[in-house]
Amino acid sequence: MTPLDLPLRRNRNFLWFWGGEAVSQLGAQFTLLAIPVLAVTFLGATEWQVGLLGAAQTAAFLLVGLPAGAWLDRMLKRRAMIAADIVRAAALATLPALWFAGHLEMWHLYVVGIVVGVATVFFDVAYQSYVPILLPSSQIGSGNSRLETTSQIASIGGPGLAGALLTIVSAPVLLVVDAISYVVSAFAIWRVRDTETTPPRHERRPLATEIAEGIAFVFRHRLLRAIVLTTAATNFFGFFITTLEALYVLRELDLGPASLGLMYSVGSVGGLLGAVATPWFTRLIGEGTAITVSAIGFGIATAAYPLASLAGVAALPVLIGGMLLQSFFVLVYNITQVTMRQRLCPPRLLGRMNASIRFVVWGVMPLGSLAGGALGTGLGIVPTMWIGTVGGLLGAAFVLFSPLTGMRELPREQVRD
């Protein structure tokens, strides 16, 4: 039995990879809470400024997402992930250093957001392209489920712990923890061994040609095209809400940082349930139908955000309930569609396929952040959240009216050149 054929629980390489991701995911939850608290509470950010911050943190997928995929198809993905982790650790460490020196300003958060965003582009595209290299096709679904389950466990414990710590220590201290977690992740990935090789130089073509090939693969496949369009619409309108979330909870609802952390933490239980329940859920209603139902379910659950403004003392339970459902449906949706596209794509196109999809579905996030910040300033937070809710729900139409609806089994065989 080769290392590639070992059960996941005995696969040393997968265990190192899995462990490193678990640590960095936990640290990332600290940053998820610490950055907006730092901006809103410590630096007094306005609606427009938090919109700019959200745009800075996600702009990299729009700016370098496409060439990153082509570059990564020419690189060893494990080394790219290690380098990205080191860059993220160094960038995040500058914020607490500036704070304790008394020099931290909003523009520092923008710059660090951009740097971390660029590193995250390379890490995430390499990460999704690496699972099919690390595991045989028959284990990709199980591997994704374990990785996503761990991510959700981190999402459950991380924000709650971060919220509790924010009552004791300052937000900049939490960023130190995340920086350390990326160092641990880099070490764990360094310990992984694989057989990946880079394509011979003489087989390379102009960068633009290789980028176009990745885009064409995605948009000529009608199932992938429907998924990309739904995900892009959901992310664009969803960032109307995500951008204003901290302002909404901390200022408008006056719930405090601990409640924000509790909301993320308890809400993420739904994500864990979704990761565990995905195999059962897809068997029950069909794999393609599960994608459609989860997209619609997520859109409906998003309404909890603006509805919380009408709930009075029940605002926090309403938000938590909405996040539970959102997280559940997001995990069902992501595990099902990511596994399908990893199986469908030829190995040499993995980086470009993932980058092309991320360019569209994550590239709309900075646009959504800017639009959310502008609308929040002009219309108010709650009306902007209603627009985001309705827009995201309408985005589910792309998968609803596609062959995915009613499909019991998604294509399982990898496309060969």
pLDDT in tens, 194-227: 777 766 665 666 767 777 877 788 888 888 899 9
Which tokens belong to 392? 């995201």
**Distance of alpha carbon 120 from alpha carbon 328, whole angstroms:** 24
Which tokens belong to 7? 């059960």
Which pTM does this prediction carry? Answer: 0.69
The distance from CA 387 to its chain's CA centroid, rounded to whole angstroms, is 22
Name the stretches of the chain with pLDDT < 50: 1-2, 416-417
Handedness of CA 273, 279, 280, 281 (dihedral sign): positive
What local confidence, expressed as pLDDT, does residue 82 receive? 92
For residue 312, the tally of other CB atoms under 10 A from its CB is 8
For residue 255, the tally of other CB atoms under 10 A from its CB is 18
Contact assessment for residue 155 and residue 26, using Cβ atoms and an 8 Å cutoff: no
What local confidence, expressed as pLDDT, does residue 72 receive? 77
Determine phi and psi for 403, rounding to 5 degrees: -65, -10
Q: What are the domain boundaries of the chain?
A: 11-192+206-400
What local confidence, expressed as pLDDT, does residue 2 receive? 46
Contact assessment for residue 267 and residue 324, using Cβ atoms and an 8 Å cutoff: yes
What local confidence, expressed as pLDDT, does residue 209 receive? 78
For residue 391, the tally of other CB atoms under 10 A from its CB is 18
**Distance of alpha carbon 113 from alpha carbon 115, whole angstroms:** 6
Of 280, 184, 230, nearest to 393 (Cα)?
A: 230
**Domain spanning 11-192+206-400, CATH class:** mainly alpha
